A and B are shown apart, each in its own frame.
Chain A
Amino acid sequence: MNPLASINLSTDLALVEARGKVRTLAEDLGAQAVAGTAVATIVSDVGRRAIKDDLPVTAELAIEAVEGRTIMQVRLSGVSALPEVEGLRSRFGIEAISSTAVDGGRPSVELRIPTSTPAARVDEAFLDRERARLIQRSPGQLLEEVQRQNVELSSLLEELRDTKNALALKARELETVNRELESFSYSVSHDLRAPLRAVDGFGLALLEDYDAALDETGKDYLRRIRAATARMARLIDDLLSLSRLTRDEMHVGRVDLSRLAEEIVAELREGEPGRNVDVTITPGLEAEADAALTRVVLVNLLGNAFKFTDKRDPARIAFGAETVDGRLWYCVEDNGAGFDMTYADKLFGAFQRLHTTDEFDGTGIGLAIVQRAIHRQGGEVRAWGEIGTGAKISFCLASPRIGG
């Protein structure tokens, strides 16, 4: 036997080395993986006993060709019997050959492991390559490898700690931003309104108490001041509802969109009893969504549909759903004033409008709110329009589904 590798099983590191080499060779020769592991375990067990009893034991790895097949050999010198080898034969076809001490030599046990490598492939070049591979796993290199992995591990740990710290920092920042947002919207709602109330109140006081002292132009100016004040108050309220949309917690559950739409349309009709509006609502549309946010979406979309069809008789409004690109899109469609698609991307900005307040009343916050409510739920919204024909706003939610 001309061994490919020989290891003295005298230190813990040598056991690790032997284990690794047995597995490498078994793998390279195409022995069953479990067989390789079983033999490697036997080798390190034997080695551990040898270290404990302070007996010299050597493990030698070699290759032998038998009937066109390659057999992997592991010879353990200094060992006379191997109790754990029983059963290996039946399971993996591993043979154990014991030799007693001959010529003053040491007793040994040789384990023979069948492999899938044809004997023809094992030439000098093959053996050289295998020797080189086994040498790579010398104790020094193993140690180096362990050290390298330790360094890697500790840098990974450091990275993990950094990430954790960064996350904690971000969470704290977010908390601060949230608190600032709270106090910002508080002062918007409180401090910004108070002076407005004074402007309006004293403006009215002037109109009432100094009626005789003011000519028509003076009174007109005062009325403009009051109208502007009212508009500003509305802008503040709108801004607040937009910020509230991101502050309030979400509660996702099953929402009946069709019923919600029915309710909203009933309210809208009540607000404009004189109008002739045809409304079609597809029944049974449901979604997993936040009920409050979804209500806000439909109130604004249906509200817009009502508003921008006010010159139509009959006005036609439809709420339905369609599947596009495998996703379910809910849509509100109308036959109203429509809009120029060139500016479609502007619609969703806060206070962006494509119509003047003379044509249609509003501040331009509705669709900004719609978009935020849908984005918060992981969805998307799109707008289509044509001047004089009508508009269609479609949105999808994160996990849409049709119920019955």
Chain B
Amino acid sequence: MSGDIILLVEDNPDDVELTLRAFRKNNMRGEIVVVRDGAEALDYLFAEGAYADRNPMDRPALVLLDLKLPKLSGHEVLRRIRSDERTALLPVVVLTSSREDADLIESYSGGANSYVRKPVDFNEFIEAVRQVGVYWLALNEQPPR
């Protein structure tokens, strides 16, 4: 088992900073790897491109996935993750600003493990991140790798 790596797929630098802050506020341990678009997320997961040196067996414990991303959308990234047997069981939490039902439905039918709408109020955001962390990192039994 690798240490708890959380892969944060997020293009907005403010959201990256705030998410990291929310993790710190919740005293969540583990390494957070930030990738800035959908293509980079796949490169990281499958140890390709800029991440070719990475051991592909070191998979993150959790992927936090924004939907609106440059290059490949979050939905597309999710589909690739689910259709590759190496990552088919990886826990993916969609973390998005979108309040559109269509996004919620597409995420779940694409195989997302949960869907969190990022609230504007930062205190609520910290709470949402805390719940995601508690459930997916502390309580949830990891699938066999």
- Name A's B-contacting residues (CB within 8 A): 185-186, 189-191, 193-198, 200-205, 229-230, 233, 237, 240
Contact = CB atoms under 8 A, between A and B. Distances in A.
A194 B68 CA distance: 11
A230 B121 contact: yes
A197 B123 contact: no
Interface string B2-19: 000000000010110010
Interface of B: 12, 14-15, 18, 21, 67-68, 96-100, 118-123, 125
A190 B120 contact: no
Contact of A201 (B14, B99, B100): B14
A171 to B, nearest CB: 23
A198 B99 contact: no
Given A190-B68, A205-B21, A197 B120 contact: yes
A200 B120 contact: yes
Counting from the closest, the 9 A-B pairs by CB-CB distance are: A198-B14, A233-B120, A201-B122, A201-B18, A193-B97, A204-B122, A189-B99, A190-B97, A196-B120
Nearest to B13: A198
Contacts of A200: 120-122
A19 B118 CA distance: 83
Contacts of A205: 21, 122
Contact of A197 (B68, B97, B98): B97
Given A190-B68, A201-B18, A240 B99 contact: yes
Contact of B100 (A186, A195, A196, A237): A186
B100 A194 contact: no
A237 B117 CA distance: 13
A230 B124 CA distance: 12
Contacts of A198: 12, 14-15, 18
A204 B123 contact: yes
A229 B122 CA distance: 11
12 contacts: A186-B98, A189-B98, A190-B68, A191-B97, A193-B97, A193-B120, A197-B119, A198-B15, A201-B14, A201-B18, A201-B122, A233-B120
Contact of B99 (A203, A204, A237): A237
B125 to A, nearest CB: 7
Nearest to B101: A244
Given A190-B68, A205-B21, A230-B120, A197 B125 contact: yes
A318 to B, nearest CB: 35
